[in-house]
Structure 1
Amino acid sequence: MELVKRVSRMMAPLLLRKGLGLILLLLAVSAVSFMLIHFSPIDPVQAYVGADMMKVSAEQREIIMQYWGLNEPPLKQYWNWLGAVASGDMGTSMIYRRPVLEVIGERFAASLALMGTAWVLSGIIGFVSGVLAAMNRNTWIDRLIRWYCYTLSSTPTFWIGLLFMLVFAVWLGWLPVGLAVPAGVTSDDVNLLDRIRHMLLPALTLSVTGVAAIALHTREKLIDVINQDYWTFARARGERGFQIFWRHGLRNVALPAITLQFASFSELFGGAVLAEQVFSYPGLGHAAVEAGLRGDVPLLLGIVLFSSVFVYSGNAMADMSYRLIDPRMKEGGKS
């Protein structure tokens, strides 16, 4: 009980500061996004109507603009939208004709399984690879892992996705080409195994591209530890292999790795957008691209806010986990 109270006292100022920072961030991001959308060359009415735009009269166009509030000055549009968001209403999607929150919730549920799987796999594989490379420095294992990381760091996510699709779906036929469920099958007939099979390729794409940063970072941190005097003294006492890493290396490299892993939420979300486009996976990233191309302002702004909260939460969790794991971390202090 005392531990819980101590943790609460330590986290309360941090949570308050992070909450205020999140509010300011959302205001800034929403204002900049709204301005960029306003100056975008995409005509929201034409994107809304589609191929039948030539059949729409000037009066009908005015009615559509009035219905969606597009005839108002930009500043008033933003103020009206901001007031609606403050009351919990993010508007209605122009593409799906459904509430924005409902569309985001449905699409994020699909993306969460994809990004969560990729996040865990990339973190574990990257950390283990970095440890192996550092513990076997300048050997063929180290060179192989570094070659793998440098190659993936310079490879676009969509190219990796296309390559995996060509090999595993087209040539070998082991996995489906895309989508989240089999085509032509009702939702009642889709089982968990079908969903996992359709998620494997996009999750694998995100995983292998996310390994490089955590592996190289962990390798450099562990090499710094190996060069310390206490590591040399431990080796002189006869400690080797996993024993010496567990006693003297794990704690020193785990904290930076955790921070980097949580801070990778932005890259994970950006990679998910590309992976979902390649595999036609109906997640939040796919919805963001559709909203941008078809001028769905309410949905696009809603996704921008949601992604900002997602990335900011990852950074906040990194800070909190750092302080929970290492009690020596104090506000304004040095580790």
Structure 2
Amino acid sequence: MKGTLGRIVRIFVTCSIKIISLLFAVSIISFVLVTVSPIDPVQQYILGLGTAISPEKRAQIEDYWGVNEPPVERYFTWLTELLRGNLGESAIYRRPVADIIGERFVNSFALMFCAWLFSGVIGFALGCIMGMYRGKLPDKILKKVCYILSSVPMFWLGLLFLLIFAVWLRWFPIGFSSPVGVLSENVTLWQKIHHLILPAFTLSLMSFANIALHTRQKLVDVMNSEYVLFAKARGEGQWTILRRHGLRNILLPALTLQFASFAELFGGSVMAENVFSYPGLGSAVSAAGLQGDVPLLLGVTLFSAMFVCVGNMIANLLYGVVDPQIREVGE
């Protein structure tokens, strides 16, 4: 017990150092990319006002934002404010970046969590079915479906689902996270879930095929092992062997791959939220990039990197709890 606890503490400290180093590197790279971007944030801000301003007023805005200062000085000014907990103010929404991230992350987290569950459950179940019927018709059909979904662009699939399920069949709304014209306090839980199902299912199709194919191959290896052949010789049924011997050997690899899909889901949520007009971090960062909202763009970039890193750290800690024999490389 003490050994497992000590290992968890070591993993936590090591991952924390890695996260801090990675966030520092991400902040530098993001700031450099924003600096060399051809989009003029001051001009985009002026266009957002909808009125013409004098050159003197523009100069005041430039001085207030510090765009005329050297890039290195601007970076350390921004980094100093970041360490104080100040992410700046969004030029698009005219609100603190931290408040926008806090509000939008709730919607994005609900979307990604549902998609994460869908991809894990569906992928693992289909992988088991393909492994049990390897070489037969169900296995061949499901493998082709997985290959097709792995190669289809997510935004095209989202548009196709919108056309079929929202426009033609009218089973789901076209977009947004709640009905149009309804106050947020009047939106019911079922209405939120109804708006969430289609984008979450579309996003889950990004990673479920990899989990299904990986689970299938692991199950095939297990079913060809000597102890499974011995179980068959004793008269155990196919599904009994899966329950007694197969699941325990393929569950941890599937869990590993499932946690590794955090970054993929976060990147896919940007496209899903734009296709379905879902108000999350993905749509916010797209608007920030197109309109030159530097504080919001940098804030969301850092937050997304931290979210993925923390998810991977939690996965490492869970591996140690599920299987104490797992060791970090170099430990």
- If the TM-score is normalised by the length of the shorter chain, which range does it land in? over 0.9
Alignment of 1:279-294 (within 5 A): 279-294=276-291
Q: Does 1:36 align with 2:71?
A: no
User: Paired residue for 1:184?
Assistant: 181
Alignment of 1:1-335 (within 5 A): 3=1, 5-50=2-47, 55-332=52-329
Aligned residue identity for 1:174: W
Give the deviation of 1:260 after TM superposition.
0.8
Give the deviation of 1:190 after TM superposition.
1.4
1:259-310 residue CA offsets vs partner (Å, 9 max, x unmatched): 1111101110111110100111000100010111111111111111111011
Whole-angstrom CA distance in 1 between matches of 2:291 and 2:100: 16
Whole-angstrom CA distance in 2 between matches of 1:211 and 1:178: 23
Is the partner of 1:41 in helix, strand or coil? coil
Whole-angstrom CA distance in 1 between matches of 2:314 and 2:147: 28
Aligned residue identity for 2:296: L
* Unpaired segments ≥5 residues, structure 2: none
Whole-angstrom CA distance in 2 between matches of 1:13 and 1:271: 32
Aligned residue identity for 2:44: A
Whole-angstrom CA distance in 2 between matches of 1:264 and 1:98: 32
Whole-angstrom CA distance in 1 between matches of 2:319 and 2:185: 44
Give the deviation of 1:54 after TM superposition.
7.9
Which deviates more from structure 2 when the two are superposed, residues 52-61 or residues 191-200?
Answer: 52-61
Whole-angstrom CA distance in 2 between matches of 1:189 and 1:219: 45
- Distance verdict in 2 for CA 1:52–1:188, change over 3 Å: closer
Aligned length: 331
1:48-92 residue CA offsets vs partner (Å, 9 max, x unmatched): 111668823322111111112222111111111111111111111
Is the partner of 1:137 in helix, strand or coil? coil
TM-score (norm 2): 0.96
Is the partner of 1:159 in helix, strand or coil? helix
1:125-162 residue CA offsets vs partner (Å, 9 max, x unmatched): 10111011011101111111101100100001111110
Give the deviation of 1:115 after TM superposition.
0.8
Whole-angstrom CA distance in 2 between matches of 1:227 and 1:317: 33
Whole-angstrom CA distance in 2 between matches of 1:276 and 1:53: 27
* Structure 1 moving runs of 4+ over 4 Å: 51-54
Aligned residue identity for 2:285: A
Whole-angstrom CA distance in 2 between matches of 1:71 and 1:333: 47
Whether the 8 Å contact between 1:46 and 1:53 is mirrored in structure 2 is: no
Whole-angstrom CA distance in 2 between matches of 1:64 and 1:13: 48
Whole-angstrom CA distance in 2 between matches of 1:120 and 1:52: 42
Whether the 8 Å contact between 2:66 and 2:74 is mirrored in structure 1 is: yes
Whole-angstrom CA distance in 2 between matches of 1:90 and 1:22: 18
1:224-275 residue CA offsets vs partner (Å, 9 max, x unmatched): 2222212211211222223212222212211111111111011101111101
Which deviates more from structure 2 when the two are superposed, residues 163-172 or residues 184-193?
Answer: 184-193
Is the partner of 2:110 in helix, strand or coil? helix
Of all paired residues, the percent bearing the same amino acid is 52
Is the partner of 2:205 in helix, strand or coil? helix
Whole-angstrom CA distance in 2 between matches of 1:68 and 1:103: 19
Kindly report the root-mean-square deviation, in angstroms, between the aligned alpha carbons of the 2 structures: 1.6
Whole-angstrom CA distance in 2 between matches of 1:313 and 1:319: 10
Whether the 8 Å contact between 1:123 and 1:211 is mirrored in structure 2 is: yes
Aligned residue identity for 1:31: I
Aligned residue identity for 1:163: L
Give the deviation of 1:26 after TM superposition.
0.3
